[in-house]
Structure 1
Amino acid sequence: MKQINNILLITKEFQSDFQKNVGGTGVFYKNLAESLADREINVLVFGSAKKPFDIQKKYLSVHFVKDYFKKYFLMELLRSVTGKISFLEKFHYKIYDLEAEYLKKELSKFTANKNIDVIETHDWEGISRIAEDLKIPYIIRCHGSWSVLSRFFGYGAAKGKIYCEKKAFDNAENIITVSQSNEKMVREIFGNKDYNLIYNGIDTGLYKPPQNPETISKSIFFVGNVSTEKGADTALDAFIKVHEKENEATLHFIGKETELSEQLKRKIAENQLENNVIFYGKKNPDEVVKLLSKAEVIVFPSRGETFGLALIEAMALEKPVVCANLEVFSEIVSDGINGLIASESEFSEKVLELFSDRNKAMHLSTNARNTVVEKFSLKKMTDETLSYYQKINS
């Protein structure tokens, strides 16, 4: 197979000092880029953000241009207006085409005289469209497109973004899916392609149990956006039931607060639980590790996922987890072996079970850590990614 020396990643999110408040995609591409650079592979990263920025390190070059709609305020206004009027739909889509043309030109400048072997992009917003003219093999990795989130999880999505994703997948040949469940959803929307499953991986050196853990007794931790989609309401309802039997129990929310937060806080006040429920807000990875290391149990009552990055992070910390009965979670958690799976109504009894049976909790925790090290490490994911790059480049 051909040696891969130069890789281009195209993404609208890249976690850094310039883009701190990013989602899972931004964290993923930061980790992947650094993992590849550690192997002395040249990694170029191109994207757009509210403010342009550049990062230069050994084997890593990041170049973000100003977001099209932040640069041209009139187009932002027109995008908003045309997206609400059905007979202006074609003009609405044209605005997204103009954004793609802008990014193509900026990408062409950045990649000039660079001998790129392979390109990777994310699926959402169809950003791979800007790579099509480069005549270089490219891959779309399915982190969670608006098309998938809209159809299967009920998220609102702009018509223009759905349009871009359809155009992107129409022309794409190489697709990475991050779970079997993810592939089923993507296949249903975009049809048959050359799908290749590579589970997401995490740095098991960062996410590892501390040597002298100081666990908060009877503590339940929730990590993720405090939203209905992530099941924050289910977490609180379960906690209220747990607290009736365990007065010392506490609930800890780690993640960005949403409009649901105020509803939850009213319910907390009604039940006089203000001293038992803590909202930490969004935290950086190091802070998340420190907080989760204090958990006795971590819950994942999400109503829909394409993978479960936060889940494997918690498992890598050697914590007992209780997760929703989702198809994708069952690819990670084997009920009663390395975690527990629960329906919405079962979360409280599963948590109480772990509180009362420490031997079982320790057994699940040990197996949880082992599962992640064996199946979901950053090293394994990087190895498989490089093999796929070589395959499509041969």
Structure 2
Amino acid sequence: MHIGFITPEYPHPKVKQAAGIATSIKNLVVVLVSKGVNVTVFVYHQNKSEVFKDEDVEIHLIPSKKYKLFTWYLYRKHIQNYINLVVDKKEIDILEAPDWTGITAFMRLKAPLFIRFHGSDAYFCKLENRKQKFKNFMFEKLALKRAAAYIAPTDFAGSLTQKIFDLKKEDIKTIHNGLSLENFKNESPEIFKRNNILYIGTIIRKKGVLELAKIFNKVIAENPGAKLILIGGDSSDIETGESSTYKLMEKIFSDEAKKQVNYLGKIPYKEVRKHIKNAHICTFPSFAETLGMVTIESMAMQKPVVNTNIGWANELIDDGVNGYLVHPEDIELYTEKLLELINDDKLCLKFGKAARQKVETFFDINKNADINIDYYKSI
């Protein structure tokens, strides 16, 4: 079998950017290759044209192009024509693309198309109660309607996307994103930096970071030694127009809290794992995700996690068994759960051990890759 992945991002120095879509795709394709599947990755909106190999995966960089008129249409056709040439040459059996922006709208591809729900603009607008541009909705809907089948990382993401776009429920298969668990081991979960609370993710309103600032103020009032470590790129704020969401956080932090915050910005992926290992607690108070890779990465490393309780999160964490689920707007309860874990090492270790077991059962990429392969073959 030969599968082609169409994506705007991939974790490699030659690629312009890499975020959640990139991580989940690479986790999958590396294991697919190890199982004898041929994989080609098409990365669009790049600076130059280039073809190279990375871990036995052939990567094609497709540069951005601008046209005098209708770039949104003509660039899609350019991607289509490039991919179709490679499909014929390499005998690619299946193509997969993300739902975000509806990149495959207007494309007529020479292989069956799977669309994986990494999170469409319409999906996130629905969760954030934001109005979506009609053009963006139509692009995403057209792309989805032309697909042969769909893969959702959680039942919640699949169900909500199905309702938004009026898709056939039977065409949607839930297959969790997964991790190569050997890369997320923690042989000594009892060793950590006490009072360190870790957040990983873009500094953006939809991730609940403004609520996190309020929560941390209350944590500091009870435990002056607590520290908040933030990892992730800063983002502009859609509501205020502020160019930096972190600046909005700084306005919320109390004077005492500011002294105990360490914002590291974007750091190499390998270093992120070191910070997870050092953390006392990991926290992700997000309002909008399809799954949340950093949550399962933290759980795999046996960290107690205080997570949002919205939709998808209920498929990751069993509240009170392998972590806590709290709505980000419930500042008092969220603070209470963080402090409870900070003050109870036995509970932290208990949650961490149970979290690892949950990830091994549901989020092992080796198991989930086999489910993907079977689903590809069925179509």
Q: Do the structures match in fold with TM over 0.5?
A: yes
Distance 1:155 1:49 in 2: 26
**Radius of gyration: which is bigger?**
1
Matched, 1:261 2:237: no
CA distance in 1, matches of 2:179, 2:130: 26
CA displacement at 1:173 relative to structure 2: 2.9
Instruction: Work out which of the residue numbers 98, 107, 112 in structure 2 matches 1:122.
Output: 98
2:352 is matched with 365
| Residue identity in the other structure for 1:265 | E
**Do the aligned partners of 1:213 and 1:293 also contact (CA within 8 Å) in 2?**
no
1:54 counterpart (51, 56, 64): 51
Structure 1's 151 and 372: CA in aligned 2 closer, same or farther, altered over 3 A? same
TM-score normalized by the length of structure 1: 0.87
Compute the displacement of 1:195 (Å).
0.7
Once the two structures are aligned, what percentage of the paired residues are identical? 27
Structure 2 partner of 1:228: 205
Of 92, 103, 126 in structure 2, the residue corresponding to residue 151 of structure 1 is 126
Q: Which runs of 5+ in 1 are unaligned?
A: 76-93
Partners of 1:371 and 1:160 in 2: how far apart?
A: 40
Q: Call closer, same or farther: CA 1:57–1:288 in 2, change over 3 Å.
A: closer
Q: Could you say if the C-alpha distance between residues 116 and 131 of structure 1 is closer, same or farther in structure 2, counting changes exceeding 3 Å?
A: farther
Letter matched to residue 215 of structure 1: F
CA change 1:192–1:112 in 2 (3 A) is: closer
Residues 275-314 of structure 1 aligned to structure 2 (within 5 Å): 275-314=259-298
Aligned residues: 365
Please, which of 28, 43, 48 is the counterpart of residue 24 of structure 2? 28
Matches of 1:219 and 1:62 in 2, distance apart?
A: 39
Aligned with 2:361: secondary structure? helix
In the TM superposition, what are the counterparts of 1:1-394 in structure 2 within 5 Å? 5-19=1-15, 21-52=17-48, 53-57=50-54, 59-69=56-66, 72=67, 74-75=68-69, 94-129=70-105, 132-134=108-110, 136-154=111-129, 159-193=134-168, 194-211=171-188, 214-258=191-235, 259-268=244-253, 270-343=254-327, 344-345=330-331, 346-392=333-379
Against the structure 1 CA distance between its residues 187 and 58, is the aligned structure 2 distance closer, same or farther, given a 3 Å change threshold?
closer
Aligned partners of 1:381 and 1:209: how far apart in 2?
22
CA RMSD of aligned residues (A): 2.0
Distance 1:339 1:57, change over 3 A: closer
Tell me how far 1:188 sits from its aligned partner.
0.9
Q: 1:165-207 deviations in whole A, cap 9, x for unaligned?
A: 1111222230111111101211111213211110111121112
Letter of the structure 2 residue corresponding to residue 298 of structure 1: C
Deviates more, 1:218-227 or 1:124-133: 124-133
Q: CA deviation at 1:137?
A: 2.0
Instruction: Supply the AA of the counterpart residue of 1:218.
Output: N
- The CA deviation at 1:155 is 5.5
Q: 1:133 to 1:240 in 2, by over 3 A?
A: closer
Structure 1 contact 121–141 (Cα < 8 Å) conserved: yes
Partner Cα distance (1:99, 1:201) in 2: 32
Please give the alpha-carbon distance, in whole angstroms, between the structure 1 residues aligned to 2:16 and 2:299.
24
